[in-house]
Amino acid sequence: MIHSTLIKVRGFHIDVFQHVNNARYLEFLEEGRWAFFDDFDSNIDLIQQGIAWAVVNINIDFKSEASFGDVLEVRSQFSKLGKRSITMKQTIINSRTQDIVVKADVTYVCFSKELKAAIPLPEAYRLRIEKAIV
């Protein structure tokens, strides 16, 4: 399952060099993940079960710049499944030029708020993720 989220670059995303500031890409990637999980988790409420996803690692490779007015497509997909973790591959593409702007890998752990510790993924959820890995 590859999820796509569109983001238009606004003036407040731009730095003094007139391109998107590197820190803003973290926000764009996060928006893409929230939209992905909105669709993926549409019938599952992990929060009611006291479970949360905690980001434990983000690796970003900046490929090209984006500027004011560009429309960026954030593509998000699961890429790896561990016992207590998932890794999501994300790519940001300039919709007009089709240039890859950013590539990122984001790793989450399944976290019990009650235990304050990483826990194994619930089995039903694990099976859904396995089916969604591209």
Catalytic residues: 15
Looking at residue 63, the DSSP 8-state letter turns out to be: -
- Residues 55 and 134: beta-carbon distance below 8 Å: no
CA–CA distance, 19 with 25 (Å, rounded to integer) = 11
Looking at residue 62, the DSSP 8-state letter turns out to be: E
Detail the DSSP E strand segments found in the chain: 3-8, 51-62, 71-81, 85-94, 100-112, 117-118
Q: How far apart are the first and last CA of the chain?
A: 6
